[in-house]
Amino acid sequence: MDKPGLLVVGILPDWDLEALAERFTLHKLYEAPDRAAFLAQHGLSIRAISTKGELGADPAMMDACPQAKIIACYGVGVDAIDLPAARARGIAVTNTPDVLTEDVADMAFALLLATARAIPEGDAYVRSGIWAKRGPMRLATRVWGKCLGIVGLGRIGRAIARRAEGFGMSIAYSGRMRKDVPYAFHPSPAALAPQVDIFIVSAAGGAATAGLVDRAAIEALNPGAIFVNVSRGSVVDEAALIAAIRSGRIAVAGLDVFHNEPAIDPVFATFDNVVLSPHQASGTVETRKAMGALMLDNLNAHFDGRPLPTPVA
């Protein structure tokens, strides 16, 4: 019997492609020079779509694959998948929650420490030989004991807060609603910003949070604030962020996500008080293996007629 066709929207590690190929005929959209022509050629044989957090699936893709009744996302964020369009077409959507939470929280702290403690600058200072010529490097900024504000206290926000407890920080957060946690609640990012030294954005992406960290929030940050984003570029007013980095209101920033990835605003590369990361927060071998396995579990469940392990509500 022919294997069902699977549209693979974005590149996946070989171990996932091999596992998927055991059950599916893979149609690799990311290798196609002309996406529309590729979808026109293979669309009718496609029975499932595998996509990624940042790539999503739009109605045109769904319409080009009318037999596809599941979109399995390799990532927790489904903001780039048109969920109403999927629902209207009777297409189930799954994602990979939980398995990546701790790695994303690690990345938030890695960016925080890298920026505040000037790790990339120190590395260059040693490698270039400047240390031997000029002596000690400039002083950096302390992290432990500071006041941390978290925008979005979901699974990842809470994992960041747990790490912050270990750093002796006081913790505050903003979100849609107050949670049962011993941290100070502020109803908006703009209310949170002036209360904290460090501001970490970990809210989910999507229409509901587009521009949530707005100009008012960024301008309300204390001068010298440290800013980290591990959620989605869309959550932050990027023009306001750039202005605050330029003016020094934000002393240092660690950014894993941007508007228009991967063709991000080139101005970021000109800032020496910013550490840039290529949307890599879930990018460890361990977590990516777990994400791939969970995506495959969902696809298998769909084709076996079992309940989906992690459906998107």
Q: Binding residues for ligand 8YV, per CB under 6 A?
A: 52-54, 74-77, 100, 279, 282
- The radius of gyration of the chain from alpha carbons, rounded to an integer in Å, stands at 21
279 is known as an active-site residue: yes
Alpha carbon distance 11, 122 (integer Å): 34
Is 14 or 180 the residue whose CB approaches ligand 8YV more closely? 14
CB of 2 to ligand 8YV, least distance (A): 29
CB of 159 to ligand 8YV, least distance (A): 13
The pairing of strands 25-28 and 92-94 is unpaired
CB of 96 to ligand 8YV, least distance (A): 7
CB of 306 to ligand 8YV, least distance (A): 23
**CA of 231: how far to CAs of 10, 147, 223, in Å?**
19, 20, 23
**CA of 45: how far to CAs of 3, 38, 42, 191, 281, in Å?**
10, 12, 6, 51, 34
238 is known as an active-site residue: no
Is 53 or 175 the residue whose CB approaches ligand 8YV more closely? 53
Two structure tokens written together for 272: 């020496």
* Position closest to ligand 8YV via CB: 75
Is 186 or 279 the residue whose CB approaches ligand 8YV more closely? 279
Selecting among 27, 232, 249, 302, the annotated active-site residue is 232
Selecting among 42, 158, 249, 279, the annotated active-site residue is 279
CB of 86 to ligand 8YV, least distance (A): 16
| Residue entry with tokens 């949070």 | 209
Is 154 or 175 the residue whose CB approaches ligand 8YV more closely? 154
246 is known as an active-site residue: no
Within 8 A by CB and 6+ apart from 55, the residues are 9, 10, 80
CB of 74 to ligand 8YV, least distance (A): 5
Handedness of CA 57, 261, 297, 9 (dihedral sign): positive
Catalytic residues: 232, 261, 279
